[in-house]
Structures are given as C-alpha cells and as structure tokens.
C-alpha cells in the first residue's frame, strides 16, 4: 500500500498531513484532486487509524480497519495512490510522544520530497484537540528542517459552509416529507467549522472537482451516514464544497509554489 518510490527532486510534490481518515477529504479534497489531475505527486499522511477505544480491543481494530479502507477509497476517488496511515491513538494525540510525531512527519516529507505541506491551522477546523496537535507538530517539524524545509500551508474551512450544508439538506428532506435527523456534520456542530479561524491568504476555487470531493467524503460512510453532507442535494454541492482557503505559514520555504499555480492570493489590508 505504501509507495516507497523516491520522488524526483525539485518536482512539485504535495503532502497533506492530518489526524483522522476523513480530514483529508473534508479539508483539502479539492486541492488534492486538482493537484493530482495536474499530474503532481500527491501524498497523504494520516496519524491515526480513526478507531476509538482501548488498544488491543478487537472492536477498535475493526473500526480502525474500516476507516483506513474508507480513506483508501476516498484517496482513489481523489486520484491519490500514496496514502500512509500511522497508528497513533485516536483522541489521544495530546498525550502522544511529540518527538516521535515530528520524526514521522519529517520522514514523510523526505520520502516524497515534498515541496508543499498542508495541514490544519491553529483552529484545527473546529477546535478538535487532535487536529491542533497535528498543526503544532507539523509546524515544528517543518521549522526544524531549516534550509531543507518545504513550504507550509494551513487549511481553514470557510465559515458558514457547513451550516449551508445543513440548510440545503434539511430543505431537500422537507420536500420529500422527511426530516434531517441530525444537524451535525461529521458528528460536529455545524457552526463550529471555521469559527474564529485565522484569515486565509489564498483561495482555491475547487468547483470543478466539487462533485469528486463529495464522492470522496461519502467514502467515509462510518462518519457521515445520514448527515447533511451525505444528503447534500446536487444544486448545493458547489456552494458548500467549491471553495477552499489556505494560509501560508510563517515557517518553511519561501517563494512561489504549486499553491500559487492552483489558487489566487487574497489581498490583505
């Protein structure tokens, strides 16, 4: 499963580092699909298998296996072959060995010769503690690489998009005489996504691949079955998923990157 072939030095190579299966599709599904479609090397490093429970519990193993399989399906929908999943404990990254996470992130960066790394911003999409640890560890890992560091970008969700998903799914349900059973998205209060996020520096129009992004999200059925994204009507897909926003980190390589090629800078005043 893990592609160990070395990347050609200097070619654009995008590495997305996240905490759980489903983060990659929700946060960066459009970017990953667009970069892969352009023939760029695209890789995902996921720090946990996504199972909740005590280590050694057979149910934990089963859920983890199912979520990793969902991630692999989502990756292939997005056009990505290189997916690496580590076995840090889901929900417990705050107590994980940070030096070990830094080593793993740096090893992944070197293995794929990443020119751009993407991960969570300080808000962890919706203040999820595991996500915030990943943000901190990836930032530290890149900073420690000094002259050999790739460029680093943080992803934030545009505020209000998940509320729009809930509204659209609920409206469609009403026309069918049904109700939307949960107003949560991936188990999270819809308004929490993007709340108090840092201002982005780059916008990426992913409307051309929004359907593919949704299809990737729907591979994560253990997480989204029945929720607003699972029941999103086709006419709301671009509005909800067609824009991604990124912020260039203060650490990592400077200069123009594949992100400038794909997105548009946001003027800050």
Q: Residue numbers of the site for Zn ion (CB under 5 A)?
A: 19-20, 23
Residue nearest to Zn ion (CB): 20
Cα angle 85, 90, 95; round to 5 = 110
Which is closer to Zn ion, CB of 23 or CB of 82?
23
Q: How far is the CB of 178 from Zn ion (least distance, A)?
A: 28
127 vs 238 by CB, closer to Zn ion: 127
Q: Which residues pair with 83 in a beta bridge?
A: 44
Q: What are phi and psi of 123, to 5 degrees?
A: -85, -5
Nearer residue to Zn ion within complex by CB, 19 or 224: 19
Are the C-beta atoms of residues 252 and 151 closer than 8 Å to each other? yes
The 10 Å CB-count burial string (b at 16+, else e) for 56-65 is: eeeebeebbe
Please list, in sequence order, all residues whose beta carbon lies within 8 angstroms of the beta carbon of residue 137, skipping any fewer than 6 positions away. 98, 101, 102, 105
Q: Please, which residues have CB within 8 angstroms of residue 91's CB and are 6 or more apart in sequence?
A: 52, 130
Write down the least CB distance from residue 136 to Zn ion, Å: 15
In a 10 Å sphere around its CB, with 0-12 CB exposed, 13-18 middle and 19+ buried, how is residue 205 labelled? middle
Shortest CB 19 distance to Zn ion, Å: 5
Complex with Zn ion: residue 156 or 172, whichever CB lies closer: 156
User: Of the two residues 20 and 213, which places its CB atom closer to Zn ion in the complex?
Assistant: 20
Shortest Å distance, C-beta 219 to Zn ion: 15
Contact 22, 217 (CB under 8 A): yes
Query: What is the smallest separation between the CB atom of 20 and Zn ion, expressed in angstroms?
Result: 4
The residue among 20 and 41 lying less far from Zn ion, judged by its C-beta, is: 20
Nearest approach, Cβ of 172 to Zn ion (angstroms)?
A: 26
Report the alpha-carbon distance of residue 222 to residue 63 in Å, rounded: 9
């Amino acid at each position: 499963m893990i592609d160990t072939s070395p990347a050609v030095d200097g070619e654009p190579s995008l590495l997305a580092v996240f905490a759980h299966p489903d983060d990659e599709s929700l946060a960066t599904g459009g970017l990953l699909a667009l970069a892969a479609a352009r023939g760029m090397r695209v890789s995902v490093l996921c720090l946990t298998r996504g199972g909740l429970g005590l280590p050694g519990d057979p149910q934990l193993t089963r859920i983890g296996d199912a979520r990793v399989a969902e991630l692999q399906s989502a990756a292939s929908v997005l056009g990505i072959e290189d997916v690496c999943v580590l076995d840090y404990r889901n929900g417990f990254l705050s107590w994980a060995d940070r030096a070990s996470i830094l080593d793993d992130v740096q090893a992944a960066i070197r293995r794929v010769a990443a020119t751009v790394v993407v991960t969570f911003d300080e808000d962890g999409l919706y203040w999820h503690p595991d996500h915030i640890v990943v943000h901190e560890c990836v930032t530290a890992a890149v900073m420690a690489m000094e002259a050999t560091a790739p460029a680093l970008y943080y992803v934030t969700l545009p505020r209000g998009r998940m509320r729009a998903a809930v509204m659209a799914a609920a409206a469609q349900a009403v026309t069918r005489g049904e109700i939307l059973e949960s107003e949560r998205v991936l188990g999270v209060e819809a308004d929490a996504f993007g709340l108090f996020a840092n201002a982005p520096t780059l916008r990426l129009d992913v409307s051309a691949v929004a359907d593919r992004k949704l299809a990737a999200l729907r591979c994560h059925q253990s997480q989204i079955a029945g929720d607003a994204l699972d029941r999103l009507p086709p006419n709301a897909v671009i509005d909800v998923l067609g824009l991604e926003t990124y912020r260039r980190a203060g650490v990592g390589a400077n200069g123009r990157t594949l992100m400038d090629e794909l997105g548009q800078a946001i003027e800050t005043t």
